[in-house]
C-alpha cells in the first residue's frame, strides 16, 4: 500500500481489496446484522396494519417510535463502550439482545378481529376475497353491506348489486380491531429488546471500522463505502426472503429467519479470534463494569416497553398550540428524543470550547451543522418502511413484466440491490476523484443527497399521473424512486459515518457516533409524523377508497419532495463556509 494513500505510513497488515483485512470480518458481521434488521423491518409496518389491525396513524406512530429508539440508544451504547466495555464487547452483547428480540416477535398469536363502529354502535366486519378483489362487509339489522369510502370522507354501505343502501357521514364511521393484549405486549417486548441491543451494536461496529485507518488515510471514505455495501448486501436477501416466508407460512416464519441472521452475526463477532485482536478493546485502565452494564441494559427493557405504550396512547398534537406547545404535547418518547438532540447540539460545542483548541472546536461545529441537516435526509428517506410500503401495498401494481408479482414488503429490496450495484462504483469514483483532487467535499455531498431524496419523491408523484383505472401506478415508478434515493444515500450515509470519525475529538468519538444516530432517531420520529399525515381510512386492514389513497400519498410526497430539494440547495450555498471550518478534512 502506498504511503500517499495511507497518510505517509506504510500499512504492513494483510490487505483485503486494498483495505485492512479486518474490514472483511466487520463487513460480514454487519451484513448479517442488517439481514436480520431489514428482514424484520420489511414486515413490521404490514404486520402492525394487517395482523394487529392498528390504524394507519397508530402504525406510523409505533413504527416511527421504534425506529427512532433504534437510533437513540446508540448514544448510550457509544458512551458505555468508550468508557468501560470497549467496542467489541458492546457489539457482542448487542447482537445477543437483538437475536432474542427477533425470536420474541415470532409469537404473534391469532390475528386481530376487525370491527366497525357506525354512529356509536359496533359491528363485526368480515373481509372476503383475495388480492385486489378483497372487500369488507358488515351486517347491520340482518342486511349485509359492502363498505366503500368516499372522496368526501363519508362511507357508503352497498347492497350486493352495488346500490347504496346507506351513507354514513364523515366522522360517523370508525374502524378498528379486537386484539389480544398479551400478544401486543409480547410484540412490544420483542421490539424493546431489539431497540436496546441495537444501541450497543450499531455505533460500536462503525467505530471499529474507523479504528482500522490511521489519521490522514485517504482510504477511509472508500472503506466505509465498502462497509456500507455490506449493510445492503445483507438486507438484500432478507427483504425478499422474510416477506416470502411470512406470506407462505405466516408472520412467525419471516421473523424467525431474521432471528437466524442476527444469531449468525453474533457468531461471526464472538468467534473472530485473532482476526480482530487489538481492535475495539476496553480503554486502558477502565474499571470493569461489564456485568453491571449488561444487567442494567436488560432492566431497561420494561422502560422501553412503557415508552411504546405511552406513544400508542398519546393524543394527536393540538393545532395552533405553537412550537413550545407542540413539544409539550408530545408523548414522552418525543420529549426525550428532541430534548436529547437539542442538548447534545448545544452542549457538545461548549464542551469542545472548554476542552479542545480553536481548530477542534470549529471542526466539531461543522460536524454538528452537518448532523442537523442529516435529520432532514433521514426523515424523508425512511418513509421506505412506512408510507412507501403502504403505498406499495395499496396503490402499486406489483407485477414484474406480467410474469409474477412481488409483495409490498419485498419492494424495499430495490434500495438494497441498487446500493449493492452502485456502492463499488461510488467507492471507485471517490478514490479516482480524490487522487486528482476533484472529490466534492462532505457538505457538497450532503447537499446533493438532500436534493436527491426530494427528487425521488417528485419522480414518483410524476408517475401517479399515469395511474390506471384501478388507481395503481406501475412498480417501475417506485423502483425509480428507490434508484434516486439509493444514489442520494451513498452521498450521505457512509460519508457521514466517516465524517464523524474524522471531525470528532478523539476521546469522544464514540459519543459523536452516538449523536449521529440520535439525529437519525429524531428523523425516524418525525418520519412517523409525516407518515401519519399520509394516513388513509382502512377497515380490516384494507383501504376503502383507492382514489383517495392515491391522491393523499401524491399530495404528501410532492410537499416533502419540494421541501427537501430546497433545503439541499441551502446546504450547497453554505458549503464553502463549512469547508473552511473543517480545516482540510475531506
pLDDT 10s digits, 212-243: 887 777 777 778 777 877 777 788 889 999 99
Domain holding 171, by residue range, is 113-178
Tell me: do 502 and 566 sit in the same domain: yes
Based on the fold, state whether residues 154 and 286 are members of the same structural domain.
Answer: no
Stretch 438-455: mean pLDDT, rounded? 90
- Return the C-alpha cell found at 464: 401517479
State the total domains in the chain: 2
Residues 118/172, Cβ–Cβ less than 8 Å = yes
Q: Is the domain of 262 the same as that of 210?
A: yes
Mean pLDDT, rounded, for 61-74: 87
Placement of cell 404528501 in the chain: 556
Share the mean pLDDT of the chain: 85
pLDDT at 528 over 80: yes
Of 135, 160, 178, the last residue of a domain is 178
Q: What is the pLDDT of residues 260-299, one digit of tens each?
A: 999 999 999 998 878 888 887 888 877 888 999 999 999 9
pLDDT digits (tens, 9 = 90+) for 126-140: 888 766 677 888 888
299 and 395 both lie in a single domain: yes
pLDDT digits (tens, 9 = 90+) for 373-432: 998 999 899 888 888 999 999 899 999 888 889 998 899 889 888 988 887 888 788 778
Domain stop point among 127, 145, 178: 178
Q: Are 229 and 286 found together in one domain? A: yes
pLDDT (tens digit per residue) in 548-571: 889 999 999 999 999 999 999 999
Residues 267 and 364 occupy one common structural domain = yes
- 497-521 pLDDT, tens digit per residue, is 678 877 877 777 767 777 777 888 8
* Grid cell of 282 as nine digits: 476496553
Which of 57-66, 212-221, 337-346, 431-440 has the highest average model confidence (pLDDT)? 57-66
- Which of 123, 143, 178 is a domain's end point? 178
More confidently predicted of 540 and 406: 406
pLDDT digits (tens, 9 = 90+) for 149-202: 887 778 888 888 888 888 888 888 888 889 999 999 999 999 999 999 999 998
C-alpha to C-alpha distance for 530 and 523, rounded to whole angstroms: 10
Please give the average per-residue pLDDT across 96-116, as a whole number: 94
> Per-residue pLDDT for 8 more than 80?
no
Q: Would you state the pLDDT for residue 540?
A: 56
538, β-bridge pairs: 543
What confidence score (pLDDT) does residue 325 get? 59
**Residue partners of 255: CB distance under 8 A and separation at least 6:** 40, 43, 102, 103, 105, 106, 242, 246
Q: Which three cell numbers stand for residue 190?
A: 420483542
Helix (H, G, I), strand (E, B) or coil at 321: coil
Q: The CATH number of the domain where 577 resides is what?
A: 1.20.1250.20
Q: Is residue 583 pLDDT above 90, yes or no? A: no
Q: pTM of the prediction?
A: 0.82
Same domain, 375 and 477: yes
Mean pLDDT of 311-316: 76
| Three-class secondary structure of residue 441 per DSSP | coil
Residue 10's pLDDT band (cuts 50, 70, 90): low
358 and 386 both lie in a single domain = yes
Same-domain pairing of 167 and 91: no
Residue 200's pLDDT is: 93
Query: What is the DSSP code string of 48-68?
Result: IIIIS---HHHHHHHHHHHHH
Amino acid at each position: 500500500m502506498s504511503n500517499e494513500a495511507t497518510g505517509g505510513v506504510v500499512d504492513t497488515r494483510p490487505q483485503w481489496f486494498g483495505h485492512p483485512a479486518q474490514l472483511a470480518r466487520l463487513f460480514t458481521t454487519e451484513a448479517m446484522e442488517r439481514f436480520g434488521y431489514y428482514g424484520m423491518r420489511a414486515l413490521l409496518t404490514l404486520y402492525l396494519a394487517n395482523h394487529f389491525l392498528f390504524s394507519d396513524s397508530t402504525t406510523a406512530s409505533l413504527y416511527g417510535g421504534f425506529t427512532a429508539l433504534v437510533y437513540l440508544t446508540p448514544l448510550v451504547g457509544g458512551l458505555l463502550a468508550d468508557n468501560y466495555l470497549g467496542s467489541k464487547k458492546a457489539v457482542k452483547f448487542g447482537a445477543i439482545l437483538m437475536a432474542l428480540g427477533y425470536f420474541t416477535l415470532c409469537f404473534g398469536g391469532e390475528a386481530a378481529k376487525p370491527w366497525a363502529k357506525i354512529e356509536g354502535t359496533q359491528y363485526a366486519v368480515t373481509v372476503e376475497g383475495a388480492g385486489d378483489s378483497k372487500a369488507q362487509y358488515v351486517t347491520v339489522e340482518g342486511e349485509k353491506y359492502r363498505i366503500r369510502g368516499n372522496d368526501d370522507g363519508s362511507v357508503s354501505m352497498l347492497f350486493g348489486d352495488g346500490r347504496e343502501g346507506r351513507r354514513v357521514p364523515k366522522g360517523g364511521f370508525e374502524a378498528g380491531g379486537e386484539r389480544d393484549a398479551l400478544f401486543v405486549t409480547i410484540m412490544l417486548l420483542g421490539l424493546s429488546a431489539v431497540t436496546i441491543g441495537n444501541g450497543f451494536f450499531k455505533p460500536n461496529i462503525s467505530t471499529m471500522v474507523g479504528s482500522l485507518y490511521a489519521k490522514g488515510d485517504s482510504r477511509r471514505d472508500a472503506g466505509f463505502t465498502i462497509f456500507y455495501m455490506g449493510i445492503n448486501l445483507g438486507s438484500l436477501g432478507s427483504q425478499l426472503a422474510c416477506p416470502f416466508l411470512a406470506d407462505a407460512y405466516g408472520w412467525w416464519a419471516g421473523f424467525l429467519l431474521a432471528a437466524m441472521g442476527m444469531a449468525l452475526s453474533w457468531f461471526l463477532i464472538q468467534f473472530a479470534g485473532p482476526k480482530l485482536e487489538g481492535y475495539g478493546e476496553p480503554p486502558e485502565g477502565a474499571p470493569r463494569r461489564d456485568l453491571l452494564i449488561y444487567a442494567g441494559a436488560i432492566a431497561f427493557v420494561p422502560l422501553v416497553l412503557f415508552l411504546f405504550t405511552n406513544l400508542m396512547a398519546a393524543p394527536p398534537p393540538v393545532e395552533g398550540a405553537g412550537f413550545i406547545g407542540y413539544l409539550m404535547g408530545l408523548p414522552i418518547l418525543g420529549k426525550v428524543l428532541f430534548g436529547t438532540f437539542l442538548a447534545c447540539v448545544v452542549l457538545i460545542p461548549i464542551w469542545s470550547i472548554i476542552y479542545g483548541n480553536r481548530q477542534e472546536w470549529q471542526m466539531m461545529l461543522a460536524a454538528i451543522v452537518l448532523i442537523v441537516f442529516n435529520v432532514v435526509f433521514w426523515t424523508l428517506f425512511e418513509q421506505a418502511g412506512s408510507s412507501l410500503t403502504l403505498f406499495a401495498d395499496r396503490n402499486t401494481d406489483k407485477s414484474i413484466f406480467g410474469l409474477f408479482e412481488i409483495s409490498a414488503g419485498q419492494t424495499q429490496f430495490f434500495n438494497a440491490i441498487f446500493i449493492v450495484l452502485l456502492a463499488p462504483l461510488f467507492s471507485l469514483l471517490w478514490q479516482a476523484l480524490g487522487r486528482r483532487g476533484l472529490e466534492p467535499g462532505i457538505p457538497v455531498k450532503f447537499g446533493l443527497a438532500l436534493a436527491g431524496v426530494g427528487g425521488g419523491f417528485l419522480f414518483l408523484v410524476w408517475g401517479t399521473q399515469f395511474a390506471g383505472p384501478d388507481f395503481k401506478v406501475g412498480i417501475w415508478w417506485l423502483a425509480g424512486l428507490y434508484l434516486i434515493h439509493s444514489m442520494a444515500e451513498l452521498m450521505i450515509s457512509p460519508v457521514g459515518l466517516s465524517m464523524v470519525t474524522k471531525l470528532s475529538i478523539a476521546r469522544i468519538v464514540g459519543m459523536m457516533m452516538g449523536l449521529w444516530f440520535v439525529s437519525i432517531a429524531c428523523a425516524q420520529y418525525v418520519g412517523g409524523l409525516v407518515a401519519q399525515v399520509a394516513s388513509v381510512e382502512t377497515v380490516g386492514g384494507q383501504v376503502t377508497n383507492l382514489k383517495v389513497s392515491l391522491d393523499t400519498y401524491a399530495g404528501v410526497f410532492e410537499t416533502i419532495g419540494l421541501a427537501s430539494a430546497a433545503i439541499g440547495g441551502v446546504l450547497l450555498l453554505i458549503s464553502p463556509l463549512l469547508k473552511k471550518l473543517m480545516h482540510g478534512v475531506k
